[in-house]
Structure 1
């Protein structure tokens, strides 16, 4: 095909596609949804709350969660032994129907005393219980996790955007998932590169994980149940109860990690 004709066809197709997308958006109920809101202002974490295992709510032990260079950084340089001090940084407002997006990267070495499985391992918890309801010695919040894993540069696959379920269950391929974690179909991301992750949560219905623009995992009906979470208030663990909403939290479990560009679009008006 001649160059000029090729350009003409491409421009024509792009114009048609742009018009089609605009028309679809205008006809869709999602058109009424509010735009993207930044959950992190790039300056501080005043809109976020900390809960770390072995510590009371609100205690940011060892300055675990800090802000530098416009990113939320998870660090352990003020720790001794890790001592199972799993931590979570919660945004102040719970959500139910939403589209969340952020970027993360793994940096540095696994801290001394952290379990081997936490190597290049972090995540974002959602539909989480209120951190104020967690006893000092509760290790993991009752929640669902979009798990982030970094490749180990050994040539072996290690997908990211997986699902893990502390104190919860999900329905996968028509039945309650038999395992605590479900692997996604994502590529492996080695090194300290930034990775774009998205999470679409529709209340107690469908949940979608997206990595670098590709849908890598879907499941539904998040509900209380299962194990892993320990020393919680038993009044809160009502197995079988569907989770329609909850808090969003960034994770710390021994591996230094950075987060940035954390944004959310509330979808409640379109789906409720």
Structure 2
């Protein structure tokens, strides 16, 4: 009887160790690993967590490559938009462009808003950033141009007790889109997403099919879609953009992140190329 109890305890202990080993993650595995990566898809890490070597920077009023007030930086493994070196907002909108152009892809981003807005920053830019897709290149922007011609996937944050404020909206600097078979010339359209409160990390994705459908997702839920992105003939840069894009209809372009007066952290910026 005594021998039987001892053997049973050993078996139970061995089973417990086996179950623990099966349920544990390998050392160093990121707890925020996406389902897409788990499935073995080949995601490209646009932000490598170490440096900004594959990115180009353009601020309004500055030559390309000038990182004004070191606004874009890498700290603690995060791509950070920081205004700690700014005395106050002076209208210098900034963008950081990943190298190359993309057409058919999924863009997955995890972001959060941090700290206070830069002093005298515009009210609409409070907890405001954006994923600029199908954009012009950094080097093709005019010296005093505010925003690249692009489709802006607008990122907004809310504050507890301050009402609703959706994220993953659509804004169209120099562009238009089609929704429900109608040309949309309105500059910004809200998505159906819930308000993302305070300093929480938000998981978002954009699915882009060239010049056809573009879809916005928050936490895996679709909150907006539209199609046929195109240049806006009313825009001051329209004639300049036509030869750059090769057509009024837009099927590819750059990807960039914004600096619009409120601090923002990005801990993941990754891309999956889709078949055309």
TM-score of the two chains, using structure 2 as the length reference:
0.81
Secondary structure of the residue that 2:262 maps to in structure 1? coil
Runs of at least 5 residues in structure 2 that lack an aligned partner in the other structure:
1-39
Runs of 4+ residues deviating >6 angstroms: none
Q: Match for residue 5 of structure 2? A: none
Q: 2:92 is matched with which residue: 70, 85, 88?
A: 85
Match of 1:123 among 130, 133, 148: 130
Q: What pairs up with 1:1-272 in 2 under 5 angstroms?
A: 35-225=42-232, 232=237, 234-236=239-241, 241-267=248-274, 270-271=275-276
For 1:91 and 1:84, locate their aligned partners in 2 and report how far apart those are by CA, in whole Å.
23
Cα shift at 1:112:
1.1
The answer (yes or no) to whether the contact 2:231–2:238 under 8 Å persists in 1 is no
Count of residue pairs the alignment pairs up: 235
1:178 shift after superposition: 3.6
Paired with 2:213 and 2:233, the residues of 1 have a C-alpha distance of 19
Quote how far apart the aligned CAs of 1:182 are.
1.0
TM-superposed CA distance for 1:234, in Å, is: 4.2
Is contact 2:118–2:262 with CA below 8 Å preserved after alignment?
yes
For residue 124 of structure 2, give the secondary structure of its aligned residue in structure 1.
helix
TM superposition score normalised by structure 1: 0.82
Question: Quick one: distance in 1 between partners of 2:125 and 2:233?
Answer: 20
Deviation sequence 1:67-103 (CA, Å, 0-9, x none):
0111100011222331111111100121000001010
> Structure 1 unaligned runs (5+)?
1-32
Q: SS at 1:108's partner residue?
A: strand
- Per-residue CA distance 1:189-221 (angstroms, 9 max, x = gap): 111000001000000000000001100000000
* 1:222 to partner: Cα distance: 0.5
